Structure 1
Amino acid sequence: MIERHKHLLTPLPQRPVFKRLLAYAKSHWKILSVAMVLLVGGTGAEILGPILIKIFIDDFLTPGVFDLQPLIFLGAGYVLLHLSAAVMNYTQSLLFQKTALKIIQKLRIDIFEKVEQLGLSFFDQFPTGGLVSRITNDTEQVKELYVSVLATFLQNIVFLIGVFAAMFYLNVQLALFCLVLLPMIYIIMHLYRKFSSAYYAEMSEKLSELNARLNESIQGMAIIQLFRQERRMNREFKKINEAHHNAWYKSMKLDGLLLRPAVDFISIMALVLVLTFFGITSLNSPVEIGVLYAFVNYLDRFFEPVNQIMQRLSIFQQAMISAGRVFRLMDHDEFAPAKTGTADPQITKGEIEFRNVTFSYDGRQDVLKNISFKVNEGDTLALVGHTGSGKSSIINLLMRFYTVEHGEILIDGIPVEEFSNEELRSKMGLVLQDPFLFVGDVTHNIRLFDSDISDSKVKEAAEFVHADPFIRELPKGYGHPVGERGATFSSGQRQLLSFARTMAKEPKILVLDEATASVDTETETEIQKALEKMRRGRTTIAIAHRLSTIKNADHILVLYQGRIVEQGKHEELLAQKGLYEKMYLLQQGAEKLAVSEQGPAI
């Protein structure tokens, strides 16, 4: 990962992260208000229970008064309180969790939309597994914050307030003594948050690395097995997994020390304080058994929500770290190049011009140096050169995947920055060397979500590029299922489908990035015939690996280390006795050698 993306690994401060998470709940304030009222009601009903028991003990059991009617009312009230508390707590929990799921649904959509807006420069450098981890694992952790943490915190905080209110009602002096417990509990929580945040940040990052390595290994499994790299990949995966395990182990030791044991110790000290108070009080005056029962009961009820809060602090910390990673990504401003100006120009001719264009991916090393050329309407321009000469970079700039740093790119005499994305993408067709197919069927991959492309137009495009014969031979024809990345199709078949996809949109400008490199010779012959038809009336820029395929181009640019070193037609370049001629003779020799090694045809 390059330097400008390192900040994405740095955790955000928890306070602003928490505020942003709460902001997602604003649009659900009505249903949350109802849930809060039910929460207070249910908590109040639970708190009143021990007071009714206290009344029974002190007013009926101790003096031996068993008046039937008051006892029936008291018992019925106790049962009714518990039933109403159960109903209200169930309903408020359901409302909180329903709202939480809606919030996470919105958060996932927001981060996915943000990722779609980022430029290719970001995807070139940031690992795919890390992005997947943020959109899935991290948002899942945030979901737990809303589902199990915030609702529990609210419920238990309201319960604690109610418990102290009941304690003050029973005995003000003893309740004031119990207030000493709050600073002690706060210190434990503060220490836990301070140390656990670092551990959970490390855990989340190692999980992202695991996902990234797993994604890379699965996609490159053929290469791993071919070069017998299973042991090395296993060692590297084991190393990252060990680091993730160690971070988890540190957090588990911290949980074991500062969560339940520390709180249990404070609860024991509180119980000793209460019993001591009543013991001393009994020396001078009688002790009400009901009040003692109520206080011990409230202490037990006091520490149960404290324990629940402490146990969920670990989930809270994980959620805050994960939310910080999500918001880091959402705040990242490496956007795809966008339209400038208020005009809405249209591509009508398809003329292309580069004026003194210089470009660098990393800001240090130029991959294009002072590139200038012009392609007239309907002409074909071929780009040739060794690997790394800058051919694909010219295509990337023309498609506005990257921003031009120095120089200018014009289409129909208008800077490419002034066109809308819709205009550029609808009027420019791009066919890559490695075509990408989506899960679906053949028709879906040719139409590609464009409802304006009818089934007849899909078939017409397939016939145009000679893909129709092999599609008809498929068991389900145009409805034949396509797996992930079109793995069940040959490279030539995938390329034909990408040709059909491009032609279905009827682009004004056609861009071919070594489009026939993955196609066998027989299929290439058919595609070349289709390309002749495709180029008619369209401006075409073609990156050519096989020089024999661009003999008829109107103009050829020969690139070397980011510069145009030769240009002209095929015959003119051969006559110059330069780099183009060397490349052409080498390819001709290689092709003749391949033919001679095959032997005579049978």
Structure 2
Amino acid sequence: MLDKHKHLMHPLPQKEVLKRLLVYTAAHKKMIAAAMVLLIGGTAADLAGPILVQIFIDDYLTPRNLAAGALTALASAYLFLYAGSAVMNYFQSYMFQKIALAIIQQLRIDVFEKVEKLGLSFFDQFPAGGLISRITNDTEQVKELYITVLAIFVQNIVFLVGIFAAMFYLNPQLAAFALFILPVILCVIFLYRKYSAVYYAEMSEKLSDLNARLNESIQGMAVIQMFRQERRMNREFSGINQSHHNAWLKSMKLDGLLLRPAVDLISILALILVLTYFGITSFDSPVEIGIIYAFVNYLDRFFEPVNQIMQRLSLFQQAMISAGRVFRLMDHDEPGPVQKPKKDLKIQDGNIEFSRVSFSYTEGERVLKDISFQVKKGEMLAIVGHTGSGKSSIINALMRFYEIDAGNILIDGHSVDTFPENELRKNIGLVLQDAFMFTGDMKSNINLYDQSISEKKLLQAVKDAGAETFIQKLSGGLAHEVGERGSTLSTGERQLLSFARTIVRDPRILILDEATASVDTETETEIQKALERAREGRTTIAVAHRLSTIRNADHILVLKEGSIAEEGTHETLIAQKGIYERMYRLQKGGG
């Protein structure tokens, strides 16, 4: 990973993360308000129970005042409050969960939209597995934050406030004394957050590394097995897995020390304090048993939400780290080249001109140096050269996948960055060496779910691409299901489908980036026939590996180390006996 992406690994301050997470709640203000009303009502009903019991003990049971009417009313009120609390808590919990799911749904859409807008330079340099980990694992952790953490925090904080209100109602002096418990608990929470943030950040990074290595291994499984690299890959994967395991162990030790045991100890000390207080008080004046019961009950209830909050602090820390990683990705500013479109500018003929174009992927390492050429409508330009000479970089620059360093690229006399992006994409058709197929049927892989493409036009494109014969042999024809990345198809079949996908859109400009490099001779012949039909009336640029496929090109550029070393037709270049002639002779087997 390059230096400019290292900041993506650094955690965001938790205050900033929490503030941004709460921004997502703004769209649900009304439902949150309704849920809060139900929460307060349910909490009040729940906390009123011990007070009713205290009244029963002190006012009726102890003095043996067992009036049937009063006891019936008291029992009815207790049952009504219990039922009301259950109903209100159910609906407030449901509403908080519904809000949480809606928020995480929007967050996933936002992060995916952001990733789609990043330039190809980002995907070239950032591990795919790490990116997938952010969009899936990290957003899943954020979902847990909203569903099982923030909602519980809100509910329990309201519950704690209610408990203190009830305790002050029973005994203001002892309740005020009990407030000193809070700083001790807050101190435990502070220590836990301080150390767990480090451990959970390490865990998230190791999980990202695991996903990246797993993705790489699955993609390159054929190479791994062919070169018998299973043992090495297993060893490296085990090392990363062990690091992730060690980070988990650290967090578990911290949880075991600062979560339940620490809170339980504080709870026992608080209970001893309360009983001691009532014991000392009883020497001077009688103590009402009902108040002791209610106070101990509230004290016990006080530590129940504290325990719930503490137990979810681990989830909170994980989710905050994950949310920070997601927001880092959403904040990353690495878009593709920005268009400066002129109103109503259209590509008419598709004439292309490169004027002294220089380009580099990384600063100071130019892969194209002062490139100039022209190709007009109806003409075919072929670009050849050894590996790393800059052939594909010309295509990347023309397609506006990357911004050029110097010079200008013109289409119909207008700079390429002045066309609306839709106009460029609609009128430039690209066939790559590695034809990518989506999961779905043959038809959807050709029209890409564009309903404006008629069935007649689609079938004609299939025929023109030379894909008709093999599609007819498949069960279901165009409805035949294509596996992930086209795994059920041969390389040649995927290439023919890719060619059909391109020409069905009738682009003004046709680009082939080593489209025949990985196919068999028969498929190459089909693509050559399709190309002859497709290039009529279009501007065509073909990056070629096999020189036999470009003999009929109107003009050929030979690149060497990012510069044009030779140019001309096939015959003139052969006569020059230079780089092109040597390459052609070697491919023909002439030594």
TM bracket (short chain):
over 0.9
CA–CA separation in structure 1 for the residues paired with 2:525 and 2:17: 59
What's the secondary structure of 1:361's corresponding residue? Answer: strand
Aligned residues: 591
Equivalent in the alignment of 2:249: 249
Equivalent in the alignment of 1:233: 233
Instruction: Judge which range, 516-525 or 212-221, deviates more.
Output: 516-525
Equivalent in the alignment of 1:134: 134
CA–CA separation in structure 1 for the residues paired with 2:147 and 2:187: 26
Equivalent in the alignment of 1:406: 406
| TM superposition shift of 1:457 | 1.4
CA–CA separation in structure 2 for the residues paired with 1:344 and 1:517: 38
CA contact (8 A) 1:378 1:539 kept: yes
Poorly superposed stretches of 4+, deviation over 2 Å: 341-344
CA contact (8 A) 1:353 1:410 kept: yes
Instruction: Judge which range, 521-530 or 550-559, deviates more.
Output: 521-530
Deviations 1:100-135 (A, max 9, x none): 111111000000000000000000001111111111
CA contact (8 A) 2:386 2:559 kept: yes
**Which residue identity does 1:237 align to in structure 2?**
F
| TM superposition shift of 1:475 | 1.1
Equivalent in the alignment of 2:370: 370
Equivalent in the alignment of 1:350: 350
CA–CA separation in structure 2 for the residues paired with 1:570 and 1:503: 26
Mapping of residues 411-422 of structure 1, within 5 Å = 411-422=411-422
| TM superposition shift of 1:449 | 2.1
CA–CA separation in structure 2 for the residues paired with 1:449 and 1:4: 37
Equivalent in the alignment of 2:5: 5
What's the secondary structure of 1:250's corresponding residue? Answer: helix
CA contact (8 A) 2:435 2:498 kept: yes
CA contact (8 A) 1:353 1:372 kept: yes
CA–CA separation in structure 2 for the residues paired with 1:364 and 1:255: 50
CA contact (8 A) 1:556 1:569 kept: yes
CA contact (8 A) 1:443 1:455 kept: no
| TM superposition shift of 1:342 | 4.4
CA–CA separation in structure 1 for the residues paired with 2:366 and 2:482: 40
Equivalent in the alignment of 2:497: 497
| TM superposition shift of 1:99 | 0.9
CA–CA separation in structure 2 for the residues paired with 1:166 and 1:465: 80
CA contact (8 A) 1:380 1:555 kept: yes
Equivalent in the alignment of 2:47: 47
Note if 1:112 corresponds to 2:137: no
| TM superposition shift of 1:518 | 2.0
Mapping of residues 75-474 of structure 1, within 5 Å = 75-474=75-474
Instruction: Judge which range, 111-120 or 455-464, deviates more.
Output: 455-464
Mapping of residues 452-531 of structure 1, within 5 Å = 452-531=452-531
CA contact (8 A) 2:342 2:420 kept: no
CA contact (8 A) 1:338 1:420 kept: no
| TM superposition shift of 1:172 | 1.0
CA contact (8 A) 2:342 2:419 kept: no
CA contact (8 A) 2:360 2:404 kept: no
| TM superposition shift of 1:341 | 4.4
Note if 1:27 corresponds to 2:27: yes
| TM superposition shift of 1:520 | 1.4
Report the TM-score when normalising by structure 2. 0.99
Instruction: Judge which range, 82-91 or 368-377, deviates more.
Output: 368-377
| TM superposition shift of 1:523 | 2.3
CA contact (8 A) 2:433 2:514 kept: yes
CA contact (8 A) 1:512 1:543 kept: yes
CA contact (8 A) 1:163 1:298 kept: yes
| TM superposition shift of 1:344 | 3.7
CA–CA separation in structure 2 for the residues paired with 1:355 and 1:30: 59
CA–CA separation in structure 2 for the residues paired with 1:578 and 1:568: 12
CA–CA separation in structure 2 for the residues paired with 1:537 and 1:457: 18
Mapping of residues 37-76 of structure 1, within 5 Å = 37-76=37-76
What's the secondary structure of 1:38's corresponding residue? Answer: helix
Equivalent in the alignment of 2:554: 554
CA–CA separation in structure 1 for the residues paired with 2:241 and 2:492: 39
CA contact (8 A) 1:495 1:518 kept: no
Percent identity over the alignment is 68
Equivalent in the alignment of 1:14: 14
CA–CA separation in structure 2 for the residues paired with 1:122 and 1:272: 61
Instruction: Judge which range, 300-309 or 404-413, deviates more.
Output: 404-413
What's the secondary structure of 2:312's corresponding residue? Answer: helix
CA contact (8 A) 2:467 2:497 kept: yes
Equivalent in the alignment of 1:596: none
Unaligned segments of structure 2, at least 5 residues: none
| TM superposition shift of 1:216 | 0.8
| TM superposition shift of 1:522 | 2.0
CA–CA separation in structure 2 for the residues paired with 1:324 and 1:300: 36
What's the secondary structure of 2:571's corresponding residue? Answer: helix
What's the secondary structure of 2:188's corresponding residue? Answer: helix
CA–CA separation in structure 2 for the residues paired with 1:522 and 1:318: 55
| TM superposition shift of 1:526 | 2.4
CA–CA separation in structure 2 for the residues paired with 1:312 and 1:11: 20
Instruction: Judge which range, 519-528 or 565-574, deviates more.
Output: 519-528
Equivalent in the alignment of 1:597: none
Instruction: Judge which range, 380-389 or 413-422, deviates more.
Output: 413-422
Report the TM-score when normalising by structure 1. 0.97
What's the secondary structure of 1:409's corresponding residue? Answer: strand
CA contact (8 A) 1:514 1:544 kept: yes
**Which residue identity does 1:204 align to in structure 2?**
S
CA–CA separation in structure 1 for the residues paired with 2:526 and 2:79: 84
What's the secondary structure of 2:588's corresponding residue? Answer: helix
| TM superposition shift of 1:268 | 0.7
**Which residue identity does 1:423 align to in structure 2?**
E
CA contact (8 A) 2:341 2:420 kept: no
**Which residue identity does 1:147 align to in structure 2?**
I
Deviations 1:289-314 (A, max 9, x none): 00111110000000000000011111
Instruction: Judge which range, 288-297 or 517-526, deviates more.
Output: 517-526
CA contact (8 A) 1:350 1:378 kept: no
What's the secondary structure of 1:347's corresponding residue? Answer: coil
Deviations 1:531-578 (A, max 9, x none): 111111000000011111111111110001111011111111111111
CA–CA separation in structure 2 for the residues paired with 1:359 and 1:344: 29
